[in-house]
Amino acid sequence: MCPMAMDKGEAAGAAGNGRAAGMAHADGVAPAVAGAGAGAVLDEAVLAYVERFASVLVAAGVPGMSARVLAALHVCDSGRLTAAELGEMLQISPAAVSGAVRYLAGLGLVHKERVAGSRRDYYRMPPNVWEEVVGLQSQVLVRWSRILAEGVGVVGPDTPAGQRMASFAEFFDYITTVYPDIVESWRAHRASSAASPGTGPRPAPGLSR
């Protein structure tokens, strides 16, 4: 489900009275949003969910506008949107969209692509986007481990503070060491789930669409 999708009749009518600004494509390619051609309309519940999702990302340190763009891409079946579609969906300026996708692209969380027959660029999440997110976090843990180890040398390994910091550093070292094994285990689990439909995780109550 994507909250900004319209069928062709609706899009034509909206364009005629100015309600489809930013959604009509000059190249004639239909917007790459879920529900296109199926009569889907603005879904306030989905938009509200996007804002709640974004607030969780912001609490984790993601800039607000980038968090909203990433959340918006999650709720579209197509998994891709143009800058104009993102701006229309989130009611933000082209400059805000540009800054948000630039930040996300720099982290590898959004890729730019061109669709055959279209003159517009689309933004899409990689299929393993959350592996990328957790991988970035594991890099943070490496830096924490190093600074803690440095602190042990500063305060002395035999001091209570040094022993405490050494224990923290060891914990982070362990997590980053086992992380690759966790990813491989997840991929094996995913492959097994794909081979046996119906065994994967289910959506939380009230979010199924």
Which candidate, 177, 150, 148, places its Cα nearest to that of 164? Answer: 148
**For the segment 77-113, what is each residue's pLDDT rounded down to a tens digit?**
888 999 999 999 999 999 999 999 999 999 889 999 8
Q: Residue 35 in contact with residue 1, Cβ under 8 Å?
A: yes
Percentages (nearest 5) of helix, strand, coil residues in the chain? 60, 5, 35
Predicted pLDDT of residue 92: 94
Q: Is 21 helix (H, G, I), strand (E, B) or coil?
A: coil
CB neighbourhood size of 111 (10 A): 15
**For the segment 130-139, what is each residue's pLDDT rounded down to a tens digit?**
888 888 888 8
Q: Where are the domains of the chain?
A: 8-124, 129-195
User: Can you tell me the distance from the alpha carbon of 25 to that of 120, in angstroms, rounded to the nearest whole number?
Assistant: 9
Host H or E run for residue 45 = helix 44-59
CATH fold group of domain 8-124: Arc Repressor Mutant, subunit A (1.10.10)
DSSP letter assigned to residue 127: T
User: Who wins on pLDDT, 201 or 141?
Assistant: 141
